[in-house]
Structure 1
């Protein structure tokens, strides 16, 4: 294991308590809402803020008391923090120089990395003459030029417009796939995490609430934040066979069998809306009141109140047919085959 860390940081009323391991060649995405502790964790790993307790071990070397400049760690910050008075070439050469390379050797390393990120022709430009995507690539080259055992990326695509972000994400994926060390990607964007990371770690209020590969987390979210992240309606109750009883007496039927504390989840697209109580097969049917309606891609996402609060995705044609507006009384239905039920304890 390349990185083995237990990060405990107290900052005022906030407490980060996070155990994290990342193998060589693995990219882990750290996701969570604002204030969850993601950037605090990254800065602690970089040595930019001290640990209250715990440890940071990289390649079996304890870095807990090692200053940032002596750690084999590369960092790409959200706003890149390129030196404005230096050219792209000198920005990339800065790290090798700090690690003992002479001027000529550092420039040779910088030239190789600028070529790898496709910026040979921009070597003499200063940051103010680079586009957002070009600045991001210079920052990545600068981080990788020190041959880091651990690469830390703090929201590396957040400052880019949508088109540049798409192109840069693909380039970043290529570089991370070739990086032999461990990589930690801090992001709030689920798409960045799903495309770039091998494993996801979800943090809320300074602690891990769920971790695993993308397929596991998207199939079985365990907090409201994770459910919203992957686009599912999520409820907690007690399972009794195929039925999960929720607080307030409402129950949802699933094809899964679960006993005891359980979650039940289904996508907004699984919710069918009717002007009157439907006949036929749906096992989960309830009266609801529309509280909100918004554009969601090519469809509309509506919020419904009732025995449970639920999001539903429908087409504009269906919305027109139902004459949807806030306050509209409807019936919602979800087939048991569209729900997933699973135990609270993993």
Structure 2
């Protein structure tokens, strides 16, 4: 799949290039309003392009400049929507058979194919059930079977696990991974959940304000985030400044000592767990230290997440015992410190 998606809606403009190989799973991530759903709808043929193109398996299905437009129902695309959108009046079998029927299969062939897909997703015994008789996890699997039954060149997944509870989500994610691994076509997963993306996708594409801001393998993106959104996504504090060897000077003039020598425009990242809090300025080994004001305190897994405001706004993770000993409360003045060896600096270009 090769696409250049240009969509204009009011004051918002999406301009994104996507390329997904056969058998590859790409996750599209971004904050609310970034353009993820718009991109998915454009690929599905539900939102026309203003410019650009969409090519599936070498066939152009949308290219405004050449007045090429293939309706959604004639594109070899399978879609699993966030709310699944199963037909409430049809059984699970007929829901799955709907796609093949629309693509020209006879009723008998479509139902045979549907039965085969229900068996693959472990729901052969639910073939006669209607959507209201299915659990959320079962409905998700029926929706996936319906999308795959058309043997799509492109499979689109729109937050496919968002409607599931935590227990169902874990099992369903593992099943979905198995089916995506076996799918020979391209897959685009639209999600806001970094865990879904890291488990299911071969490559990540991050969009903000209608533009791609970073893309690549998960390991590269998690190690070298390039925007605040990506840094929050992977749980890092991120800063941009100008490097001069082992110091990166931020926009307000504060200098961060770093282990990695960098020169010119650079990023510095470090984990919240690397931030130590002290009632007074710390002494001892060389480190970055600055006075801060506590802006917020909340539970974060087994730790306490402390939001710090100051010359370096940062998130710090401390143990409940440390938080109790320091008696951390919003508005409190405190010292924060990060060892240079706990930072990661890299070029911004």
State TM-score, norm by structure 1. 0.98
266-275 or 276-285, which deviates more: 276-285
Distance 1:24 1:249 in 2: 48
2:52 aligns with one of 48, 51, 54: 54
Q: Which runs of 5+ in 2 are unaligned?
A: 63-68
Partner of 1:277: 281
Correspondences of 1:327-338 after superposition (within 5 Å):
327-338=331-342
Q: Which runs of 5+ in 1 are unaligned?
A: none
Partner of 1:10: 8
Following TM superposition, by how much is the alpha carbon of 1:282 offset from its aligned partner in structure 2, in angstroms?
3.6
8 Å CA contact 1:282, 1:334 repeated in 2:
no
Partner of 1:197: 201
Following TM superposition, by how much is the alpha carbon of 1:308 offset from its aligned partner in structure 2, in angstroms?
1.1
Compared CA separation, residues 310 and 320, structure 1 to 2 (3 A): same
Would you say 1:295 and 2:293 are equivalent positions? no
8 Å CA contact 1:202, 1:209 repeated in 2:
yes
Following TM superposition, by how much is the alpha carbon of 1:212 offset from its aligned partner in structure 2, in angstroms?
0.6
Distance 1:43 1:289 in 2: 44
Distance 1:287 1:224 in 2: 22
- How many positions carry a matched residue from both structures? 343
Moved over 4 A (4+): none
State the superposition RMSD in angstroms: 0.7
Partner of 1:266: 270
Partner of 2:126: 122
SS in 2 for 1:169: helix
Partner of 1:236: 240
Distance 2:253 2:167 in 1: 47
Partner of 1:175: 179
2:346 aligns with one of 327, 342, 345: 342
Compared CA separation, residues 282 and 131, structure 1 to 2 (3 A): farther
Partner of 2:154: 150
Following TM superposition, by how much is the alpha carbon of 1:306 offset from its aligned partner in structure 2, in angstroms?
1.2
SS in 2 for 1:279: coil
SS in 2 for 1:50: coil
Partner of 2:86: 82
Distance 1:220 1:4 in 2: 26
The Cα offsets for residues 67-122 of structure 1, whole Å up to 9 and x where unpaired, read as 11111100000000100000000000001111111111111100100000000111
Partner of 2:231: 227
Distance 1:209 1:184 in 2: 17
State TM-score, norm by structure 2. 0.97
